[in-house]
């Protein structure tokens, strides 16, 4: 039976009226395909600026959450995580959910009174007194039963927050799922290898077919419809992050193509069946883009730019910023300054008419590291930003484009305002490091220390640079100096813990990680990754191979278990 049937005249009318009905030519001006693809889509509903949004799915959902939060939307599932101290040292990645069956499980347990969570279906004692929750990532360290119970309570509370969210974003990750034959329940990730050895007949790998995925999606939507917001709207996406490894006896490229194809096909079906479900093409955007622009060097994780493109396109389309008046936008930004990133991204008219709005975008873009928007705002801030700080901003923009000489030419004198001097020295140091001149970088670091003897940043940045060049002795000495000045700064401690792991000092790293208190979601995620590396013998990415945008756990169950 066809998914969609159109009459001949309707089909021809679509072809005539649809500006995206054909492929753009290579190199065409304003191409929606190169370098980053921007597939067309038509929203069927609108987001209210700042409203709570619930996101479910794989690690790409965590990227979307981060961007939505920065743009002023509330993410109640993250609030539940933040409220529970048991999650403080694990981070938001504990919410990653990769397969349709495991997403269905979590929603059943959180929402349906007839399907309560039971410990005997999930908790396993792997060593005396140490337990794991089979439905969480297998790489999480076994711990006491009380801690495992506390984590599960927090997860259930996080999923129960979906009841109060009008908009739910569901990101589908993979179709290779592990099945527990004893309980009849699908797991979220692969079971621990020790459990596979203990019970070789208990767990099976299932490669889901179209009917499996479609039935699971329909049940997920029914749970959301029955127990969720009365005006529910769902946005369905397929994660563009591929399988990093496959458990099947075939090339991972083939396994990934099947996995994404069956998820994409089922998503299309449910979107056509339910007019309150939209499909957002993040998968197509990343996979159809130029690889160098869309993927990090590991060829798996989307670049920060690709994530920003998709999130901001989604928000602009669903919020409809062009329809908002200046007063509405100003009120929203006053409540959450980071909302300026989407509400003002393409409102040149408002930036030119209202310097206060230009300053709002300038501040938000500087905080988020959005050099494109910073440059746009810079043309409208006038004398509200001192001339020397405008030069500093231009230098940061030049450096982001790889124009090191241009950046250094703009960095001749410290800004007058003390608050801008740290950024001045950091930009100058990074420029020297970008051109590989360690001697010049040391001179800049000395100047920075002379300007502000109490900052640890020159030592931290130089230490990272030396570590990237495998000069570990020098890096360790620099971090010793940074630690003396850092006052438990999470940035310094995380970099130092990473260095300890790189140099094989695992026990020292483990002790240090127990003392770190992250100050933002990115630090929380990085702490979680370092903890997994430190306690589960997962090798960290070498410093000199690490991508600029550090990856999270992804749509496979940890490469160490399948090599």
Q: 512 and 500 in contact (C-beta within 8 Å)?
A: yes
Q: Please name every residue paired with 57 in a beta bridge, in sequence order, or none if there are none.
A: 171
Report the 3 state secondary structure along 157-211: HHHHHHHHCCEEEEEECECEEEEECCCCEECCCCCCHHHHHHCCCCEEEEECCHH
Structure tokens at 287: 């996979």
Q: 3-state SS string over 294-345? A: HECCCCCCECHHHHHHHHHHHHHHHHCHHHCCHHHHHHHHHHCHHHHHHHCC
Query: How many CB atoms lie under 10 A from the CB of residue 111?
Result: 18
Residues 6 or more apart in contact with residue 249 via CB below 8 angstroms: none
Residue 12 CB neighbour total at 10 angstroms: 11
User: For residue 189, which phi and psi values (nearest 5 degrees)?
Assistant: -130, 180
- Burial call 157-172: b when 16+ CB within 10 Å, e when fewer: bbbbbbeebbbbbbbb
Residues contacting residue 46 through CB under 8 Å, at least 6 positions apart: 318, 319, 320
Fold of 386-455: 1.25.40
Output the tens digit of pLDDT for each of the chain's 563 residues. Answer: 888 999 999 999 998 898 888 888 877 766 788 888 999 999 999 888 778 999 998 877 777 787 777 667 888 877 766 665 656 555 666 778 889 999 999 999 999 999 999 999 899 999 999 999 999 877 678 889 998 998 888 889 889 999 999 999 999 999 999 999 999 999 998 998 889 999 999 999 999 999 999 999 999 999 999 999 999 999 999 999 888 889 999 999 999 999 999 999 999 999 999 999 999 999 999 999 988 888 887 787 788 778 878 887 887 788 765 556 687 778 778 877 877 887 787 788 889 989 999 999 999 888 878 888 899 999 999 999 999 999 999 999 999 888 999 999 999 989 999 989 999 999 999 999 998 888 899 999 999 999 999 999 999 999 999 998 899 999 999 999 999 998 788 999 999 999 999 998 989 998 998 888 887 766 777 887 788 777 754 444 333 333 333 333 233 333 222 22
Number of Cβ within a 10 Å radius of residue 366 = 19
Burial profile 434-449: b = 16 or more Cβ within 10 angstroms, e = fewer? beeebebbbebbeebb
What distance in Å separates the CA atoms of residue 490 and residue 386, rounded to the nearest whole number?
A: 31
Cis peptide before 35 (omega within 30 of 0): yes
Q: 49-117+159-317 has which fold?
A: Rossmann fold (3.40.50)
Listed residue (324, 336, 325) closest to 360, CA to CA: 336
């Amino acid at each position: 039976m066809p998914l969609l049937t159109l009459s001949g005249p309707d089909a021809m009318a679509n072809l005539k009226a649809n500006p995206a009905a054909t492929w753009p030519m290579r190199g065409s001006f304003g191409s929606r395909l190169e370098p980053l693809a921007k597939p067309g889509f038509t929203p069927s509903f609108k987001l209210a600026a700042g409203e709570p949004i619930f996101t479910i799915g794989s690690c790409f959902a965590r990227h979307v959450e981060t961007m939505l939060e920065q743009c002023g939307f509330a993410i109640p599932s993250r609030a539940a995580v933040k409220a529970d101290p048991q999650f403080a040292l694990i981070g938001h990645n504990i919410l990653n959910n990769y397969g349709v069956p495991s997403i269905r499980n979590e929603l059943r347990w959180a929402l349906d009174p007839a399907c309560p969570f039971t410990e005997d279906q999930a908790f396993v004692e792997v060593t005396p007194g140490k337990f794991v929750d089979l439905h969480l990532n297998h790489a999480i360290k076994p711990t006491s039963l009380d801690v495992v119970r506390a984590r599960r309570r927090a997860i259930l509370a996080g999923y129960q927050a979906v009841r109060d969210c009008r908009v739910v974003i569901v990101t589908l990750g993979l179709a290779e799922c592990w099945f527990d034959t004893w309980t009849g329940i699908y797991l979220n990730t692969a079971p621990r290898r020790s459990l596979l050895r203990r019970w070789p007949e208990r767990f099976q790998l299932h490669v889901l077919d179209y009917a499996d995925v479609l039935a699971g999606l329909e049940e997920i939507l029914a749970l959301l419809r029955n127990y969720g917001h009365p005006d529910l709207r769902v946005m369905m996406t397929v994660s563009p992050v591929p399988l990093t490894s496959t458990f099947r006896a075939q090339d991972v490229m083939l396994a990934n193509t099947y996995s994404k194809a069956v998820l994409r096909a089922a998503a299309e079906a449910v979107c056509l069946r339910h007019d309150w479900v939209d499909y957002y093409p993040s998968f197509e955007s990343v996979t159809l883009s130029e690889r160098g622009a869309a993927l990090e060097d590991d060829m798996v994780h989307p670049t920060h730019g690709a994530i920003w493109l998709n999130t901001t396109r989604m928000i602009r389309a669903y919020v409809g910023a062009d329809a908002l008046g200046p007063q509405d936008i100003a009120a929203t930004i006053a409540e959450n300054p980071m909302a300026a990133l989407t509400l003002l991204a393409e409102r040149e008219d408002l930036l030119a008419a209202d310097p206060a709005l230009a300053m709002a975008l300038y501040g938000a873009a500087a905080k988020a590291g959005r050099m494109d928007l910073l440059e746009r705002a810079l043309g409208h801030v006038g004398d509200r930003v001192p001339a020397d700080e405008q030069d500093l901003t231009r230098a940061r923009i030049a450096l982001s484009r790889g124009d090191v000489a241009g950046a250094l030419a703009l960095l001749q004198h410290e800004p007058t305002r003390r608050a801008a001097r740290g950024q001045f020295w950091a930009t100058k140091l990074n420029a020297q490091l970008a051109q590989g001149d360690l001697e010049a970088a040391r001179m800049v670091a000395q100047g920075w220390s002379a300007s502000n003897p109490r900052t640890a940043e020159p030592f931290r940045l130089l230490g990272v640079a030396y570590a990237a060049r495998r000069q570990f002795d020098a890096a360790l000495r620099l971090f010793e100096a940074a630690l003396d000045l850092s006052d438990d700064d999470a940035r310094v401690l995380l970099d130092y813990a990473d260095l300890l792991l790189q140099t094989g000092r695992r026990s020292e790293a483990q002790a240090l990680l127990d003392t770190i208190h992250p100050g933002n979601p990115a630090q929380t995620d990085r702490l979680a990754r370092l903890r997994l590396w430190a306690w589960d013998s997962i090798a960290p990415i070498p410093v000199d191979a690490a991508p600029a945008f550090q990856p999270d756990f992804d749509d496979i169950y940890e490469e160490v278990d399948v090599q």
